[in-house]
């Protein structure tokens, strides 16, 4: 046991972002870019290329217009993320297991001593002797003002740690730390005096602002940037409300979260930068557009404006950033790492749910797959979803899982089905679903703020597809002959067994769409026998592209459709308020006039950054 304690005391605990980057460099996982690089589109372009190549972390040493360095792709692969936390991730996993099963510690006290030692790092350390981040005061315009996509509204912070406290229960243990994007320049913001604060549904800061507004008081907000990498990850962890992200950061980082207060604002003393300010009741300004993680722009909307108090920087500070866009991107690694750490957290939180998987290729929130149980009648095997419907309601009422737009849930009593194995899960569900019975809509409800397929900001619908029991059909692997003869539809292509993508004319409005899909129904209704192996048809703008890869099918189908408005069915009918269909389910995934535009790179900038990758450039041998 003495030996275990000695090992623990030598764990890698980064005191700064630079310490982490130097460690990555020593282990061949970081490249320095010495050429001057423009923060307007160039830095993002370089990052995207390197991420796509599964390349190293990047340190930009010469950022045009700023004296500060910048770093990206730090978490670019799951392997590198696990390397960064190689000495602490096991202790974090054990702590989570102990929380789920407290008796485990009593049964094996010596075996779980490692977790107990890790927990000692959880308590934040107030007023440490050293306060590196307060080395100097700067202005917003001193920062690397990085614009990621051509139509972005300005420069954004893409790895912020936004800190706020509960006005009724002040203090760090009841505080919230979240990753809510910050717009630094552009629109109507007064330069160096105001910045935009964008946060979405189910975010802890919203509770804090609501309480402050009710008292007519401004909400004090601190935006930490950089610092030990555990601080960045803690800001995206889906922790229960009331649990401090700062305690998580301490355990995962192997180093207590160090902080102080200045002028009433909390300061993370190990951060590279801190921006402090206040959000006043009713003060909103247009924020956006911003190229976001669904692969489209989130458009301009009114969000809270933060009046800047002070901006601090440590000596030789480094500005970390990432670039989001059509997945997968670097934030995908965040999700994978969170899954590695949390393990069985969801099954313990929702009994009966064995596994959930937010499909990254579909933009995370648009499509959620879940494996559940059917335990209600063990004396009589389930013939239709029962417990699955209870579980689906629980899932759609739990934290950020509630943002799911399409929830596919299946029961597998063999315990072989895995939600993360998307092709196998889809095949299992499609083989068993009863299209007349097992489709359940939630209309006029909330959806992800970044999803523009609905009827307005945060407004849209959801659908649950549930399946259990014996296999009902063999899925087709070839397009049925009748689909090659359809009027108004062309180029049918198999996306996967049981799923056909088919092109149609461009979408104009929903009245026309109903008529077009009625024509499809009329043409196929009498062929339901021939179509038994086809469970889903996706009407789209380009079926060849949609069916080319699983990633394309998932992205187009689930980001471009609103269940209540865009789901049809061959032989569809409504009986006692319940909708179903005899033949294939049909999803209209064409681009709609109200959708946000897809992200596209600037070809001039792409050509310009070639110099970094050509012979003699910093990244010539790196990827």
In this structure, whether the domain defined by 481-588 belongs to CATH 3.40.1670 is answered with: yes
Choice among 8-17, 158-167, 313-322, 552-561 with the minimum mean pLDDT: 8-17
What one-character DSSP code corresponds to residue 470? S
Name 527's bridge partners: none
Domain 345-467 shares a fold with domain 481-588: yes
pLDDT of the residue at 480: 96
pLDDT digits (tens, 9 = 90+) for 326-382: 999 999 888 888 888 876 566 767 889 999 999 999 999 999 999 999 887 766 776
pLDDT digits (tens, 9 = 90+) for 147-158: 999 999 999 999
SS3 (DSSP) at 354: coil
Fold of the 2-321 domain: Pnp Oxidase; Chain A (2.30.110)
Q: Are 226 and 273 in contact (CB under 8 A)?
A: yes
Between vectors from CA 484 to CA 479 and to CA 490, what angle results, nearest 5°? 105
Report pLDDT for 89.
Answer: 85
pLDDT greater than 60 at residue 161: yes
Q: Is the pLDDT of residue 396 over 50?
A: yes
Determine the pLDDT at residue 2.
30
Q: Please, are residues 526 and 458 in contact by the beta-carbon 8 Å criterion?
A: no
Q: Other CB atoms closer than 10 Å to residue 553's CB: what's the count?
A: 26
- CATH for the stretch 345-467: 3.40.1670.10
Give tens-digit pLDDT for 554-582: 999 999 999 999 999 999 999 999 999 99
The answer on pLDDT for 241 being more than 60 is: no
pLDDT for the residue 199: 82
Tokens of 337: 């790492």
**Helix axes of 550-559 and 422-432: crossing angle, nearest 10 degrees:** 60
- Per-residue pLDDT of 291-310, as tens digits, reads 999 999 999 999 999 999 99
Q: Which two tokens stand for residue 598?
A: 């897809």
The listed range with the strongest mean pLDDT (193-207, 369-383, 465-479) is 465-479
Q: What global pTM score does this model have?
A: 0.91
pLDDT at 414: 87
Q: Which residue has the higher pLDDT, 124 or 112?
A: 124
Lookup result for tokens 């187009």: 556
3-7, 196-200, 503-507, 604-608: range with lowest mean pLDDT: 3-7
pLDDT digits (tens, 9 = 90+) for 88-105: 888 777 766 655 444 343
pLDDT at 224 over 70: yes
Residue 7: C-alpha distances to residues 91, 114, 459 (Å): 13, 10, 52
The structural domains of the chain, with segments of one domain joined by +, span: 2-321, 345-467, 481-588
């Amino acid at each position: 046991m003495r030996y275990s304690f000695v090992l623990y005391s030598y764990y890698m605990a980064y005191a700064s972002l630079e310490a982490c980057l130097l460690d990555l460099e020593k282990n061949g996982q970081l490249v320095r870019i010495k050429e001057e690089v423009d923060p307007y589109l160039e830095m993002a372009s370089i990052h995207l290329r390197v991420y796509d190549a599964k390349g190293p972390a990047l340190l930009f040493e010469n950022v045009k217009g700023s004296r500060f360095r910048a770093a990206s792709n730090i978490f670019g692969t799951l392997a590198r993320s696990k390397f960064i936390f190689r000495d602490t991730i096991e202790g974090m996993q054990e702590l989570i297991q102990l929380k789920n099963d407290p008796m485990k510690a009593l049964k094996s006290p010596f075996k779980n001593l490692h977790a107990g030692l890790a927990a000692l790092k959880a308590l934040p350390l107030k007023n440490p002797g050293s306060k590196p981040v307060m080395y100097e005061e700067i202005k917003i315009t001193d920062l690397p003002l990085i614009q990621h996509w051509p139509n972005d509204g300005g420069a954004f912070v893409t790895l912020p740690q936004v800190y706020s406290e509960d006005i009724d229960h002040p203090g760090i243990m009841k505080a919230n730390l979240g990753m809510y994007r910050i717009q630094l320049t552009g629109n109507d913001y007064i330069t160096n005096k105001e910045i935009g604060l964008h946060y979405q549904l189910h975010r802890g800061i919203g509770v804090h602002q609501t309480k402050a507004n009710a008292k007519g008081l401004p909400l004090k907000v601190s935006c930490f940037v950089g610092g030990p990498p555990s601080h960045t990850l803690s800001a995206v962890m889906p922790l229960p409300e009331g649990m401090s992200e700062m305690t998580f950061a301490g355990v995962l980082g192997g180093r207590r979260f160090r902080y102080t207060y200045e002028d009433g604002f909390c300061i993370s003393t190990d951060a590279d930068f801190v921006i402090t300010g206040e959000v006043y009741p009713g003060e909103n300004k247009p924020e956006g557009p911003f190229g976001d993680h669904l692969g489209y722009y989130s458009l301009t909307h009114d969000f809270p404006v933060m009046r800047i108090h002070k901006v601090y920087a440590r000596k030789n500070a480094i500005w970390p950033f990432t670039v989001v866009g059509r997945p997968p991107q670097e934030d995908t690694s965040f999700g994978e790492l969170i899954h590695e750490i949390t393990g069985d957290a969801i099954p313990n939180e929702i009994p009966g749910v064995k596994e959930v998987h937010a499909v990254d290729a579909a933009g995370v929130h648009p499509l959620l797959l879940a494996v559940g149980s059917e335990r209600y009648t063990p004396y009589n095997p389930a013939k239709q979803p029962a417990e699955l419907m209870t579980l689906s309601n629980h899932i759609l009422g739990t934290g950020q899982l509630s943002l799911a737009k399409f929830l596919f849930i299946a029961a597998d009593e063999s315990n072989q089905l895995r939600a993360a194995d998307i092709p196998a899960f889809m095949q299992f569900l499609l083989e068993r679903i009863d299209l007349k019975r097992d489709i359940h809509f939630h209309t006029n409800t909330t959806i992800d703020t970044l999803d523009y397929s609905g009827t307005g900001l945060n407004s849209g619908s959801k659908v649950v597809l549930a399946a259990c029991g014996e296999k009902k059909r063999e899925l087709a692997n070839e397009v049925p002959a009748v689909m090659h003869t359809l009027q108004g539809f062309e180029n049918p292509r198999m996306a996967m067994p049981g799923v056909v993508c088919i092109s149609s004319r461009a979408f104009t409005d929903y009245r026309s769409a109903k008529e077009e899909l009625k024509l499809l129904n009329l043409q196929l209704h009498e062929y339901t026998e021939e179509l038994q192996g086809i469970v889903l048809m996706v009407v789209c703008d380009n079926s060849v592209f949609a069916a080319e890869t699983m990633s394309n099918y998932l992205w187009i189908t689930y980001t471009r459709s609103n269940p209540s408005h865009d789901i049809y069915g061959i032989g569809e009918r409504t009986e006692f308020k319940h909708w179903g269909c005899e033949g294939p389910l049909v999803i209209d995934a064409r681009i709609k006039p109200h959708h946000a535009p897809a992200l596209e790179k600037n070809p001039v900038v792409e050509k310009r950054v070639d110099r970094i990758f050509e012979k003699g450039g910093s990244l010539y041998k790196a990827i």
